[in-house]
Structure 1
Amino acid sequence: MDISVVIPLYNEEESLPELTDWIRRVMLQHQFSYEIILVDDGSNDASWKVIEALRLQHEEIIGIKFRRNYGKSAALNVGFNAAEGDVVITMDADLQDSPDEIPELYDRIKNQGADLVSGWKQKRYDPLTKTIPTKLFNAVTRSMSGIHNLHDFNCGLKAYRKDVVKSVEVYGEMHRYIPVLAKWAGFKKIQEQIVQHYPRKYGTTKFGPGRFVKGFLDLLSIFFVGKFGKRPMHFFGAIGVLSFLVGFVITCYLIFDKLMSIAHGSPYRNVTDQPLFYLSLVAILIGTQLFLTGFIAELVSRNASERNKYHIEKVI
């Protein structure tokens, strides 16, 4: 099979018939073999009934329904597991992404060797309350991930080599950081394509301002797990040892200062009367706790069932 189109959706009953017809026209025009995977993320409108009707009319449509709303990341993860196409295309169900972009996205994956191609909505039809925070998060993500050639990590229209979607696990709010997950999994050919963005035709957006806070926390999680997931002692241990050494040096200084005062017969204050004593005590305690945290995390990591799970590209 050439292409799997994975579409997560929540309360999009009006747009589904038009979207699937549009995709079918593009696929037939370019003679692609394909499947359309519609993942209903616990909709409370008639979206699932529409999917059932579409499935009866077109066998290439596959429907997956959640019992409740889990979020876009969960829907994408389930869709990725079900996908069978050599190239996997994701897009939103609100008709703001154009299926006409599919042939070029497919060509860049299949024939030009890209692992992942992310859409860039250079001209957007979203309000400033959405576009300004998005630009900020994109800038932070570029800086932290080192993927400097992507302008829009959160664009729903993306194309993946099949190996990519089978190698990453998407959860929380991490759907916007799939390029980062792909990079940590060892896929280096991450590219961008300018895509058409349309105004929303039906309904309203399903994402509130809280997604930015969750997204930033997930970015920190990706950064930490990707860099220190298999060697947590390098993170906690290094900070713990540094904190312990700072506290130890301050303690040695206080003791030395008191001994010198005694030796010269000078008046001196009790060590416990000096603010530096409490600073050193806190530094030593925190350092010890961080070191023990790293040690325990290392034991957990070494005994985890996936401790030796690595992504192997080829075996000859």
Structure 2
Amino acid sequence: MPEVNFENSPTDNSPIELTILLPAYNEENAIESLISEIRKAMTEWQGRFEILVVDDCSNDLTAAKAASSGARLISRIENGGSGASRKTGIREARGQLIAMLDADGSYDPASLPELLSYFPDYDQVNGARTSEQGTIKFLRVPIKWTIRKLAEFVSGKTIPDLNTGLKIFKRKQMQKYLWVIPDGFSCVTSMTLAFLCNGHPVKYIPVTYRKRIGKSKFHPIHDTLQYFLTVLRIITYFRPLRILAPLAFLLGMTGILRSIYHICSSPVLGITDSDVILIVSGLMILIAGMLADLIVKQRQS
């Protein structure tokens, strides 16, 4: 695949500049070394780029260390979460492309040049982690697998890593979907599904995943629930029939089969009220799904 020319140029199509966005909350132990790694990784890159740190009201030296390392710093006035920081960074970014990494040092910036080489052919390129380094693996792995399979069913695409924090995307395309991105940890899942469900070309590249520096802010029960609800919201926003149509079919067919059984086993009693409720419920869900799908199609046109 040919690489796009990122050289500075006065023409309308170039330079394609890059913002490397680091949402940060209490990452004083990792932020300086990460910024240094980013600069080293981008040494051979020919375009202009900025490193933008969005500090989410840290109560340590994260902001001071980011500023002293030469990054452009934006300090939020109230703590809003990982997604809120990312949305702030997307709105304030100067680059036409935005690369996002977690500020805890878990992603290796050396992967950035390879991910960048796939633009402009793709609208989003993600780093797919080859290992799980998070805490509570026995709980995280099966839950992530289940939700990822649901997301693959909805999007119709293979998704190696649904909630990777290493991704590069076209800023103008992502700005269309800021309204769907939540403030919490599930924000990166929304970013991926919004592109996949709306026909944007998305690519995955295997990347190494390192043990994070510092303490994790992940809350197993709360954040897992939000993760699952995020996928359900994306389904409702972009692909409602993917879930509602099978549900309607299941209820309707159950009602029809029960009706046949009751007619055959008790001709005098015939169809029961519960059979009718199941059939009507399936029909109502199907109609609601079709109306929702029509609204989505009109919004996308």
Deviation at 1:102, TM superposition (A): 1.3
TM-score (ref. length: structure 1): 0.70
| Contact 2:133–2:210 (Cα < 8 Å) also in 1 | yes
Deviation at 1:32, TM superposition (A): 3.1
Question: What RMSD in Å do the two structures reach over aligned CA positions?
Answer: 3.9
Specify which of 82, 89, 100 is matched with residue 99 of structure 2: 89
Give secondary structure in 2 for the equivalent of 1:109. Answer: coil
| Contact 2:124–2:168 (Cα < 8 Å) also in 1 | yes
Give secondary structure in 1 for the equivalent of 2:216. Answer: coil
Over 3 Å counting, the alpha-carbon distance change for 1:4 and 1:293 in structure 2 is same
Identity of paired residues, percent?
Answer: 21
Specify which of 111, 119, 123 is matched with residue 127 of structure 2: 119
CA distance in 2, matches of 1:147, 1:278: 41
Specify which of 146, 157, 165 is matched with residue 147 of structure 1: 157
Which consecutive unaligned segments of at least 5 residues does structure 1 have? 259-270, 312-316
2:197 is the counterpart of 1:184: yes
Which consecutive unaligned segments of at least 5 residues does structure 2 have? 1-15
2:216 is the counterpart of 1:226: no
Over 3 Å counting, the alpha-carbon distance change for 1:119 and 1:66 in structure 2 is farther
* Length, aligned pairs only: 278
Moved more, 9-18 or 34-43: 34-43
Q: What is the one-letter code of the residue matched to 1:37?
A: L
Specify which of 103, 108, 120 is matched with residue 98 of structure 1: 108
CA distance in 1, matches of 2:203, 2:267: 60
Q: Which of 1 and 2 has greater Rg?
A: 1
Specify which of 24, 31, 49 is matched with residue 39 of structure 2: 24
| Contact 1:7–1:38 (Cα < 8 Å) also in 2 | yes
Deviations along 1:221-253, one digit per CA (max 9) or x if unpaired, are 212221249xxxx969x77x959x96xx79xx7
Which residue does 1:167 correspond to in 2? Answer: 176
2:210 is the counterpart of 1:198: yes
Deviations along 1:16-53, one digit per CA (max 9) or x if unpaired, are 122122222333443431122222234333323434x3
Over 3 Å counting, the alpha-carbon distance change for 1:288 and 1:187 in structure 2 is closer
| Contact 1:35–1:62 (Cα < 8 Å) also in 2 | no
| Contact 1:72–1:175 (Cα < 8 Å) also in 2 | no
Specify which of 25, 30, 44 is matched with residue 10 of structure 1: 25
CA distance in 2, matches of 1:160, 1:291: 35
Deviation at 1:205, TM superposition (A): 1.3
TM-score (ref. length: structure 2): 0.73
| Contact 2:63–2:73 (Cα < 8 Å) also in 1 | no
CA distance in 2, matches of 1:294, 1:198: 42
Q: What is the one-letter code of the residue matched to 1:47?
A: T
Specify which of 129, 133, 155 is matched with residue 143 of structure 2: 133
